[in-house]
Structure 1
């Protein structure tokens, strides 16, 4: 039986847009399209395990037809529209703590300088640590209401820790104007207070707290450019999502809202 036939018999895993419809579970393994950085990324994930970070999938092998197999991590993964259980303060704080664990271990691992790491959501300032860059609710596995593992490292690239925190804040606070947030998130989330909780969970320094709102604005611009590139390439999923969520006016509104509330976010982080 071909790998394609085997995939067809597996359990399809939903969530995310980049590999939608192409990710399957076969018992204890997950099979999915391999990114072009798979050899370097697999080496990095194995190094994380060797350094004691067990909260990420373990690579098993690359297949001849361009797919990868990784260990399946059991638990709960929230899908949009996001339920209230994944937006509790406990959940938010645990996401920050898990990201800090990843970074603390990752700083001791040399990033392959020859790999062509994806630049679409990467830190424009660069860095020596491999950032996840896509810690959205669909990529965090929960157990008992707390973040237990990170999955889908396809967009990982070298960068600064604060960039990864900023990208994470976009999804988990969320750093969206109320109209935009209402599409996918429960009502009544206090953005400044939640940004402080995430920063506390991670353990950001005072200097990093002062920088974070501006970095979030930069990360938002990168995400907008990422969507624009996908739409320009004719990706139907991104084109549909853009239309359903308010078009480019939504992105204008988000960026204006972030700039208008920059001082409020800074005060919440440093207060």
Structure 2
């Protein structure tokens, strides 16, 4: 096959920020840049399947040029601005159920203490199981309106299940002020109601329900620090995104909005 022929049989997959333009589908496989800890992540994904979680890509191999191959997961992935079908209450509940399934299997997988896991969005308090840490709509595959699989485990790191749920809530409720949500989400989403739906579908305990609003605030601080590091390093993707999305004023507004509604969210979760 010629070089042109090799390029013609692959399909560019859109979405994401860090690997934008570098992820391709070739038949039943996806080729993408491999994270530094790809060997450990591949072992983790295989272990998840052994423990009953079949809703993630299967690792196939690593190339000498720093790329990885995984099985392609068929379905629909929503990209911003997010369409209404992916923000229904039923879709949200299916995300909570899928995350619970992941955590039940992940809890059975031993975490290798010698691996350098990503610290970009990791739980500051650590934990004994690997969390996904980036369950945003771009990383959830849907089939027939229900969350069917998770992709892109590059930011996985040891943490608390509550932390992973808080990160997920940020994107799916969403836990941002209405002005910030307007450019990415359909109107009419009531945060307190949707946070309760997510907690219910996940099966969150009463104790953790009381802790969830604070964990969301903590996760927001970690996400802000992550963006700040990328911007300070001159990453053009994050520099542009920060400017286009309202700068640091937007982050200030989100954090103030969360703090002002902490009691409202707690009451909705516990009533």
Q: TM-score range by the shorter chain?
A: over 0.9
Equivalent position of 1:172 in the other structure: 172
Moved more, 231-240 or 129-138: 231-240
Residues 1:234 and 2:234 aligned together: yes
Q: Mind listing any 5+ residue stretches in structure 2 that lack a counterpart?
A: none
Give the drift of 1:252.
Answer: 0.1
Equivalent position of 2:74 in the other structure: 74
RMSD, aligned α-carbons: 1.5
The alignment partner of 1:218 has SS state of helix
Separation of aligned partners in 1, 2:238 and 2:55: 29
Separation of aligned partners in 1, 2:3 and 2:158: 32
Give the drift of 1:243.
Answer: 0.7
Distance 1:248 1:96, change over 3 A: same
User: Normalized against structure 2, the TM-score is what?
Assistant: 0.97
Give the drift of 1:238.
Answer: 1.0
Q: Deviations over 1:198-253 (max 9, x none)?
A: 00010000000000000000000000011111111111111111111100000000
Equivalent position of 2:21 in the other structure: 21
Give the drift of 1:120.
Answer: 1.1
Give the drift of 1:2.
Answer: 10
Q: Mind listing any 5+ residue stretches in structure 1 that lack a counterpart?
A: none
Give the drift of 1:8.
Answer: 7.2
Residues 1:210 and 2:210 aligned together: yes
On the 8 A contact 1:3/1:65 being kept in 2, the answer is no
Q: Deviations over 1:177-218 (max 9, x none)?
A: 000000100011000000000000100000000000000000
Residues 1:198 and 2:198 aligned together: yes
Equivalent position of 2:114 in the other structure: 114
Equivalent position of 2:100 in the other structure: 100
User: Normalized against structure 1, the TM-score is what?
Assistant: 0.97
Moved more, 165-174 or 48-57: 48-57
Equivalent position of 1:57 in the other structure: 57
Separation of aligned partners in 1, 2:27 and 2:184: 31
Separation of aligned partners in 2, 1:3 and 1:60: 23
Separation of aligned partners in 2, 1:4 and 1:134: 35
Equivalent position of 1:36 in the other structure: 36
Q: Which runs of 4+ in 1 moved over 3 A?
A: 1-9
Aligned residues: 271
Separation of aligned partners in 1, 2:13 and 2:225: 27
Separation of aligned partners in 2, 1:25 and 1:97: 28
Give the drift of 1:9.
Answer: 4.9
The alignment partner of 1:70 has SS state of strand
Residues 1:10 and 2:15 aligned together: no
Separation of aligned partners in 2, 1:40 and 1:3: 32
